Amino acid sequence: MAVRHPTPPSASPSLPPSPAVPPAPAALAGRIARAAPSVLVLGDALLDQWLSGPAHRLGRDAPVPVVELAETRSAPGGAANVAANLAALGARVELVGVRGDDADAAVLDGALARRGIGTAHTVTEPGRHTVVKRRLTTAGQTVARFDAGPAGPPRPETVAALVEAVDALLDTAPDAVVIADYGLGALPDAVRERLRRRRDEIALLVVDAHDVAAWASLRPDVVTPSLAEAATALGVSPPVTDRPAWGVRHHGALRDRVGGADVLLTLDVDGSLLLPGGPGPVLRAAAAAAVPQSEACGAGDTFVAAAALARCMDATAGEVLAVAQAAADVVVTRPGTAVCDTGALTARLAHADRGRVLSVPDLLAALGEHRRLGHRVVFTNGCFDVLHRGHVASLRQARQLGDVLVVALNSDAGVARLKGPRRPVNPLADRAGVVGALDGVDLVTSFDEDSPVALLEAIRPEVYAKGGDYTPQMLTETPVVERLGGRVRVLDYLSDHSTAAIVERIRDAEVSS
C-alpha cells in the first residue's frame, strides 16, 4: 500500500516471485453496493483531526514555526474509519465500541451519522475521554501530532454493556463481523469470550489487529496484518529487504499463529500478499504508486473494509486481494483519512482491466469519480472489428482531446445489422480486449442500438469524437451532444485503411490459396 521507508535492493537470494493477482471485474464494486451486506464492526473508534494554517515566522520562545490556525478538519478514525469505508462501499454498518461523553465524542458521532453508520449500540462511558489524534500541518507538511484518550480500561459496567450490545447485534445475523483492534481498550476479554462462544453463528469473521495472534482462538476467516504486525505475531524482527519473499517464507508459521485464517499481508510500497489458510497459491497484488507515509493515513482500514465486502460477495481469493489493494490505492492519493466509495473503486478496477466491457451503470460510476477529479470526458464509438492503423491513429487523437477516453463498441448484433451477416469477424469480448489494450483508451462499453444517442444522453461527454470522412453537420448525434453542452470533433481521416477492405483481402487470399 503506502511507503513507510525506502526499501533498498535485496542483498540475499529471494524466493521465486508469487503469481500476480489477476484484475478483479469492475462490476464487483457495483454488486457490493447493490447487495448492501450487513456488517458489524467491533473495535477502537477514534477521531482524526487536522489543524492547519500558514506559518510565516518562527516563535520567539523556541525555534519552531508559528502556525496561524485557519482550518480544522475531522474524520472518523480507527474502527470508525473501517465503518466509514464499509458504508461508502454500500454496506449497512453497525459500530460497537466505547465512546466518551466529551465534545470530541459529539464530533465523531456527527461524522458517523452523516455517513449513515449505526451507533445505537456504541456504549457511552461517563467521564471517559474519546481517543483523538490531532495533526498540526502547514503548507501540506505535518509539524506535530498530539494524541489524547482514556487513562485506563473500560469500567465493569461498560464492559457488561458492550457484551450485551454484541449479543444483540449477533442476533441479527450480520453478513460479516470485522474486528478493528488497535489495543485501546474497546475489546476487553469479556467481549472476546462472548464472540468465542458464538463463533459458529458468525458467517464471516475478519480480524484487523495490532496483535493478530491474540484472536487466533476465534478461528478468524481472514486476518489483515501489516508486515510489522505479522513479524510481531511470529516473535521476529520485520525484514528491511525482500519483504514479499519474507511473507512467502513464513506462510505456514504465520497461518498457524493466527488460527488457520487466510492472511492478507500488507506490504506498503510492495503491495500485498494473499497467504491462503487452505489449499491455493500465494498471490501478490502490486501497489499502484509509492507515496509518503503521511499520505497513507487510514489505507489499512480501507483495505480491510474492501476485503471483507468482497468476501461477502463470494469473490475468488484473487478478486478479494485485487479489490482490497485497489481500494487502498485510491485512498493513498487523497489527503488525510479518506474513504474509497463505489465510484472510485469501480474506476480503479476498470483502469486495471481496461479490456473488459463495462455495463452502463458501472461506466457511470467510474465516470463519476473521474469528474470528481475534474477530468474531461471524451467519447467515441465504432465497430472496431479488425483493428488497423487508422483505428489506432483516431483513438490516439481522440485521447488528446481530454483526460479520459470512453470507447463504445457496437454489439455483435449491431455490427451484423450495419456490416452484414458475415460480420463481426471478432466477437465483442475480443474486440474490447484489443481496444482496451491501447494506451490511450481508458474505459470500454457497448451499445446495441444503431446509434449511440442513448449512451451520449447518459454519459454527457464534454467531447464527442468521430473518426471518418464526416463533418459535424452530417452526424445525427451532433444536436444531442450540443444540447448537453458538449462539442463534436471530427478526427483526421486516413484513407485506404478500411476494415471491410482488410476482410475482403483476407477472404480473397483464402479463395486463391
The C-alpha angle 433, 434, 438, rounded to 5 degrees, equals 110
Sheet holding 71-78, edge to edge: 71-78, 45-52, 132-138, 141-148
- Residues with Cβ within 8 Å of 233's Cβ and at least 6 positions away in sequence, in order, are 211, 212, 213, 225, 254, 257, 258
Position of cell 489477476?
A: 22
483 Cβ partners below 8 Å, 6+ apart? none
The residue type found at 6 is P
**Among this protein's residues, is 211 annotated catalytic?**
no
Cβ–Cβ under 8 Å, residues 289 and 329: yes
> By the 8 A CB rule, do 122 and 98 touch?
yes
Residue 339 cell numbers, joined: 474513504
- Helix locations, 373-425, DSSP H: 389-399, 412-419
Residue from 428, 289, 265 nearest 352 by CA: 289
* Angstrom distance (rounded) from CA 360 to CA 367: 10
Nearest to 230 by CA among 203, 252, 197: 252
C-beta separation of 22 from 284 below 8 A: no
Asked if 113 and 83 count as a contact pair (C-beta separation under 8 A), the reply is no
Torsion of CA 189, 191, 195, 197, to 10 degrees: 70
The active-site residue, picked from 48, 268, 301, 362, is: 301
CA 326/CA 328 separation, integer angstroms? 5
Q: CA-based angle 19:25:28, to the nearest 5?
A: 120
**Which of 254, 301, 289, 298 has its CA nearest to residue 274?**
254
**Type and span of the H or E element at 409:** strand 404-410
Element (DSSP H or E) covering residue 332? none
Q: How far apart are CA 366 and CA 379, in angstroms?
A: 14
CB 7 within 8 A of CB 243: yes
Do the strands 463-466 and 443-447 form a parallel or antiparallel pair, or are they unpaired? unpaired
Identify the CA nearest to 356 among candidates 447, 437, 296.
Answer: 437
Phi, psi of 381, rounded to the nearest 5 degrees:
-150, 165
Catalytic residues: 301
